[in-house]
Structure 1
């Protein structure tokens, strides 16, 4: 990669640069960019539609997390950090509007330019941009951040960095990225990387930083109090540089954000009921219906909000590690899906009130359609037909039980599939070549609902001669084992957006399958999936983009990598202090990144 970080040579190349700009389409400064078409908001927009620019400042939100933390650096592989810290304590060149499928607007960058083929993008920093210590955000900080994250940072940053052919300073406040591949999304995602202060890290090992370094950043909040493993508190910076930026109007209204940590979800819920926390998301629908009637709710001090959305439901369930021989055969994975008695489990857990997740992009235009693949979707999949498991092209649906605890028909089907894969029952034990079929299910400690579902699953497996063990581990162990793929089956969550892009390689790409820290937990290696992701990234029409997403959904769902459970995020269910308020104009992404606490405010009732 070519990196030109000094100003020498920049102005001597001014005339060639002008010629290059003309050749590449007379690029002009832009205030916003969308994946397809034009951004919805004009250059003079006042605020994002789901933010209240007149919201008062003040108040405090106290949130809970199950587990612990041992790092304040969310940008490296080592350690566990509070999950929201990556979004609250750092800023990027561009800010996302969650009321559009995928559109970005200037934040640290006052403007940017790109060519019609988006092979390059150039950002110009705002002169007023500052870090929390008062020092200016410079091009040097930007370039150092991109190179460091791309070479030493968390794997989530590595893929995009590999696609950068060159990075060079082109003016006092401007930097240009040129890409090595045709990928129209790169001009957008490159603007979403966190910008760190180079001077803070020059004499430190970035990859080993834990709790000893309080980050200096340009964000509206700074970390002001830490008790290792117990809580992190952030305070709104009264001198925040970006208070007049349109993409920040109505954001970051609360004075204090505190994140408390608990050993398990029961302890966290009791802390919420006792007033230690003043906001709590609930994913257990039955618990939301039956246990949120405690005195503070009855008196109106706590209110229950249900927030809908138009995004894909994503995938939640139990992922099978296909790196392990026992789960490398799709027939074994289909057997597990048949043995998982969803209808009975759902009745026990939710009274049958929650429908099952049926595909990765369900609830959206990107979701696979019932029946055989047709049209562009079929055209995209047919070159890979010989390597695809049954159902991808022909059509696939999850097994459905009769709802009884015995689940006889599906268990018979599961036994037949195991036999086809070479597994037989001898002396009551499922085995092959003398080796019993046993496996563990890894679950994060404190996730009682997930444990209960897994235990009902293991009971069904016993009838097949299979011994499965539920392994509950604390957050640190769960993260370490997940990152190193040290599991047979693991509880799996994957939220997905209306504009899937480069992150799909990290989630489902073959290249990431064996990369430690990859989010491809199931170890999927599918040439068809890789091709669909590439098509999505390079699609020049909405038709091809949607077709590629639907084809990918088919490859993943019929790949039988995950045992899906019930919808948990069809609605966001948040119980909160009556003073905590949000706009009724919620974004199409609903309660997503950038919603709570970003656009909430405190209003005395």
Structure 2
């Protein structure tokens, strides 16, 4: 479940945010958590789902929560962390809204993180476990056909008004019908929502889906009275009233937003908040591009920088503030999948509907040369969507339960799904002649060949397409980096008689076009967690072929993929769940929708020397809930 909190899917806003940094660390097991990871995430020991017979303090996808009732604090939070001070973070582009829960507008980053809360909070030290936040307890049926939450009596919005069952019910129905499409899928499977007590609410589901009770615990709870009589689906710069630890303090529309810690925060004494929310102020400044952001960091106007290039990490951090020790470098390990990142092909465009054409494009992308030229060859290539974890498809042919799940769809699966699929290695030279030969053969099979120096089909139609890029860059790549990658790729395509055109757009225009799938090829980034679930429908579900605002940018409509997602959600044992994810990984990877690039095996953070974080880092590492939540500023 990448939808760890409301905003984990809210990546309409590109930038250097925590929950969109998807690096994974090779061989960095944390011994004290090995048993938890083996049992809960990797399916080494298959365990039946627990049935909660009574109201409980938490809920896990498999087994029981790792933390017993009455725990003191989350294991990766320092309850003795000092409070006070500030942190200043940078974002590219701008914003025109303070409403991240709707499709319209480009919302300022941080509102969904710092202002709004959900009934439960996710522990990023476990693959998928929730503990009570606004909710005091959670209870679910043995088969998880329903879930019931009981609100804490002390829960309050920042204006002092109580958080009520009415607010919860309004929030769920409004988000599920008028909010961003990411909320619609789960809501469509709610058969009924009813108040069962003064502070209790029950959701009954129309189908058995073991993840739905957890998803219901993660929706943002908004104040009904603030939005009554207004069009909720419209973007707005009205500061939302939430129950979180921070309130919006200052807004300079499009340029900066500052959050101030609420001294009267209702939840400051809860076990799940001990050691969190330590800064008095959190400020996000917006810049035209990543270069301006980095210059602001070197000048001290921004106090933390997330470096995505191993080469720059090694060579460009000798500026004066770093030399004086005012800036320090930190690498944060993690144990999560690599996710997918690279150039995506939109199969809604007929020229990319054929897998052979997509494979030809992959052949012509000489990763080895690009990685060496731009990154010194330091970082490994993404091998599959869930690579670098046991959720990944692995090498060779599918076997056992994975093969059993895939075989009913064998006739419609692209080559390599069952047999095994490996990306081309590439060469150290700019031109990979072997790749050119393979690509020409594939294009010929698909009905395209070079005529008078240009790739055309039998009707004389040229093989032409546009590569759409965000001029502000993305979470994982600066604009200049993506342009460099694209420029090398375009040069490599010339022997095929193909010359794409490149279009650079500002963030707002880029979001508008990608939300409506108006592109041929574009840069794509998708982080994936150790607990994939219902959000996979939003990423790869067939509804996304026509429904705007999903993450199915490639336009895939795969009954096999949807069947694997169904199996994941219905699995009662971790082993079966893992097999379903591995099968899905094969379908996605062999589908050849994305030309993958490298991923960073660690998060590289350069920051002011007085910014600190706990020694114990969670298995998710630098992920939602870690920065700035667990950090603090050391007093001078």
Query: TM-score with structure 2 length normalisation?
Result: 0.90
In the other structure, the counterpart of 1:586 is 617
Counterpart contact for 1:65–1:259, Cα < 8 Å: yes
Greater Cα offset, 277-286 or 101-110: 277-286
In the other structure, the counterpart of 1:48 is 74
In the other structure, the counterpart of 2:152 is 126
The correspondence of residues 205-354 of structure 1 with structure 2, limited to 5 A, is 205-211=231-237, 213-354=238-379
Counterpart contact for 2:341–2:526, Cα < 8 Å: yes
Q: Distance in 2 between matches of 1:412 and 1:204?
A: 60
Superimposed CA distance per residue, residues 164-223 of structure 1 (whole angstroms, 9 cap, x where no aligned partner): 000000111000000011100001011100000000000211111321x11000010111
Question: In structure 2, do the counterparts of structure 1 residues 394 and 221 end up closer, same or farther at CA, with 3 Å as the change threshold?
Answer: same
The correspondence of residues 153-168 of structure 1 with structure 2, limited to 5 A, is 153-168=179-194
In the other structure, the counterpart of 2:30 is none
Question: In structure 2, do the counterparts of structure 1 residues 102 and 108 end up closer, same or farther at CA, with 3 Å as the change threshold?
Answer: same
In the other structure, the counterpart of 2:498 is 466
**1:566 and 2:598 equivalent?**
yes
The correspondence of residues 94-243 of structure 1 with structure 2, limited to 5 A, is 94-211=120-237, 213-243=238-268
**Which of 43, 58, 61 in structure 1 is aligned with 2:84?**
58
**1:427 and 2:452 equivalent?**
yes
SS in 2 for 1:355: coil
Q: Distance in 2 between matches of 1:290 and 1:354?
A: 15
SS in 2 for 1:150: helix
Counterpart contact for 1:357–1:565, Cα < 8 Å: yes
Q: Distance in 1 between matches of 2:78 and 2:436?
A: 54
Q: Distance in 2 between matches of 1:41 and 1:566?
A: 36
In the other structure, the counterpart of 2:97 is 71
**1:414 and 2:434 equivalent?**
no
Q: Distance in 1 between matches of 2:469 and 2:130?
A: 36
Q: Distance in 1 between matches of 2:505 and 2:453?
A: 30
**Relative contact order higher in (CA < 8 Å, ≥ 6 apart):** 2
In the TM superposition, what is the alpha-carbon distance from 1:604 to its structure 2 partner?
A: 2.7
**Which of 572, 583, 605 in structure 2 is aligned with 1:551?**
583
SS in 2 for 1:411: helix
In the TM superposition, what is the alpha-carbon distance from 1:25 to its structure 2 partner?
A: 7.6
Superimposed CA distance per residue, residues 340-375 of structure 1 (whole angstroms, 9 cap, x where no aligned partner): 000000000111111100001111110011101000
SS in 2 for 1:326: helix
Greater Cα offset, 171-180 or 444-453: 444-453
Matched residues, number:
580
Superimposed CA distance per residue, residues 366-422 of structure 1 (whole angstroms, 9 cap, x where no aligned partner): 001110100000000000000000000011100111221111100110111011000
SS in 1 for 2:266: coil
Counterpart contact for 1:254–1:601, Cα < 8 Å: yes
SS in 2 for 1:463: helix
In the other structure, the counterpart of 1:513 is 545
Query: TM-score with structure 1 length normalisation?
Result: 0.95
Counterpart contact for 2:397–2:418, Cα < 8 Å: yes
Counterpart contact for 2:440–2:496, Cα < 8 Å: yes
In the other structure, the counterpart of 1:536 is 568
In the TM superposition, what is the alpha-carbon distance from 1:275 to its structure 2 partner?
A: 0.9
Q: Distance in 2 between matches of 1:141 and 1:516?
A: 28
**Which of 410, 414, 439 in structure 2 is aligned with 1:389?**
414
In the other structure, the counterpart of 1:10 is none
Counterpart contact for 1:25–1:116, Cα < 8 Å: yes
Greater Cα offset, 431-440 or 530-539: 431-440
Counterpart contact for 2:96–2:108, Cα < 8 Å: no
The correspondence of residues 348-363 of structure 1 with structure 2, limited to 5 A, is 348-363=373-388
**Which of 463, 468, 474 in structure 2 is aligned with 1:442?**
468
Q: Distance in 2 between matches of 1:257 and 1:435?
A: 54
In the TM superposition, what is the alpha-carbon distance from 1:470 to its structure 2 partner?
A: 2.2
SS in 2 for 1:171: coil
**1:377 and 2:408 equivalent?**
no
Counterpart contact for 1:455–1:470, Cα < 8 Å: no
In the TM superposition, what is the alpha-carbon distance from 1:502 to its structure 2 partner?
A: 0.4
Counterpart contact for 1:284–1:449, Cα < 8 Å: no
In the TM superposition, what is the alpha-carbon distance from 1:26 to its structure 2 partner?
A: 8.1
**1:493 and 2:519 equivalent?**
no
Q: Distance in 1 between matches of 2:453 and 2:574?
A: 54
Q: Distance in 2 between matches of 1:122 and 1:233?
A: 35
In the TM superposition, what is the alpha-carbon distance from 1:290 to its structure 2 partner?
A: 1.1
CA RMSD of aligned residues (A): 1.1
Counterpart contact for 2:387–2:394, Cα < 8 Å: no
Unaligned stretches of 5+ residues in structure 1: 1-23
